[in-house]
Amino acid sequence: MALDFLAGCAGGVAGVLVGHPFDTVKVRLQVQSVEKPQYRGTLHCFQAIIKQESVLGLYRGLGSPLLGLTFINALVFGVQGNTLRALGRDSPLNQFLAGAAAGAIQCVICCPMELAKTRLQLQEAGPARTYRGPLDCLAQIYRQEGLRGVNRGMVSTLLRETPSFGVYFLTYDVLTRALGCEPGDRLLVPKLLLAGGTSGIASWLSTYPVDVVKSRLQADGLQGAPRYRGIVDCVQQSYREEGWRVFTRGLASTLLRAFPVNAATFATVTVVLSYARGEEARLEGDAGSAALAQPSSL
């Protein structure tokens, strides 16, 4: 279990490193002004950030997701596995319920982490920047707004994470069963990469409009006076001013990110398990593959 957790953490780090540039683009597209849009689309946003801030601009706010990664993995995989065992049967419905439970509980860490990430991604570059890093960002928010400020966007994060993790584990379970992911299969790793990447896309599609609302609430007041009184007010104002398309803003960069992030995560998990368990384990029973074939281990 400890080895699976270690491999999962390493895979998570790889996923963050691959996906963070796409996440930066997504957040900037989601929160930009409709009256004076700074970016014309995903590709233009990438080009503008690199031109103005260098490649490092795409990795702004990286410390926050990396900082919370270990704790989030511990909660997600621990809660999902224990909930699945408590439910007593490994069925698609129970996979959804276990995933939803894991998604809800990890919001305790995910919400403050994403708040810091969003603030760091949106602040101006240079010596005049407001925050020096994720911990400084959260400390400043706590001093100014208290615990409530640190947990800004918690309800919208719950509304996003609970069903999306359920959809993720359900989709992964259905696909691994359909693809016949069994220990010893020569195509086990490609099948897992396909299942994981597709599951990531499905989970984002299921709750993406809620993610737009969450990003706007967490960025509200950063560049001027606060605009929104809550989730409903944010939805109403956004729809009234920008139409329904506002709830798909940044979706292209998110979907571009979803597949490679999961591919990097699963590939790294495979490599770590293979090296850690050694040549004997690979020859005698492909123990690494066996662990990967279990949805709760991922």
Question: What is residue 2's predicted lDDT score, i.e. its pLDDT?
Answer: 63
| pLDDT at 96 exceeding the cut of 70 | yes
In a domain, 109, yes or no: yes
Distance, CA of 151 to CA of 146 (rounded, Å): 9
This model's pTM is above 0.85: no
**Residues 167 and 157 both lie in one domain:** yes
Structure confidence at residue 266 as a pLDDT band (50, 70, 90):
low
Q: Confirm whether 183 is domain-assigned.
A: yes
Q: Is there a single domain that holds both residue 168 and residue 109? A: no
Q: Which two tokens stand for residue 80?
A: 């999902």
Q: How confident is the model at residue 270 (pLDDT cuts 50, 70, 90)?
A: low
CA–CA gap between residue 8 and residue 298 (Å, rounded): 7
Helices 2-31 & 107-122 angle (0-180, nearest 10)? 40
User: Residues 68, 140: one domain?
Assistant: yes
Q: Are residues 70 and 84 in the same domain?
A: yes
pLDDT band at residue 262 under the 50/70/90 scheme: confident
Shared domain for 95 and 106, answered yes or no, is yes
Any domain includes 287? no
Q: Which of 223, 242, 261 is where one domain is finished? A: 242
- Does the structure show a pLDDT above 60 at 279? no
pLDDT at residue 298 is higher than 50: no
Q: What is the pLDDT of residue 153?
A: 92
220 within domain boundaries = yes
The residue with tokens 């691994």 is: 176
Segment 228-244 mean pLDDT: 92
User: From CA 90, how far away is CA 94, in angstroms rounded?
Assistant: 6
- For the chain, give the DSSP string: -HHHHHHHHHHHHHHHHHHHHHHHHHHHHHHS-SSS-S-SSHHHHHHHHHHHH-GGGGGTTTHHHHHHHHHHHHHHHHHHHHHHHHH-S--HHHHHHHHHHHHHHTHHHHHHHHHHHHHHHHSPSSTT-S-SSHHHHHHHHHHHHHHHHHTTTHHHHHHHHHHHHHHHHHHHHHHHHHHT--TT-TTHHHHHHHHHHHHHHHHHHHHHHHHHHHHHHHHTTTTSS---SSHHHHHHHHHHHH-GGGGGTTHHHHHHHHHHHHHHHHHHHHHHHHHHHHHHHHHHT-HHHHHHT-GGG-
Q: Indicate whether 116 and 177 sit together in one domain.
A: no
Q: Is 295 a member of any domain?
A: no
In a domain, 213, yes or no: yes
**In this predicted model, what pLDDT tens digit does every residue of 204-213 receive, in sequence order?**
999 999 999 9
- CA dihedral over 144, 148, 153, 154, signed as positive or negative: positive
**Domain presence at residue 294:** no
| Total of domains in the chain | 2
Q: What is the pLDDT of residue 235?
A: 95
Is the pLDDT at 85 greater than 70? The verdict is yes
Same domain assignment for residues 214 and 229: yes
For residue 43, being part of any structural domain is answered with: no
Whether residue 110 is predicted with pLDDT greater than 50 in this model: the reply is: yes
Q: What range defines the domain where residue 73 resides?
A: 63-123+130-152
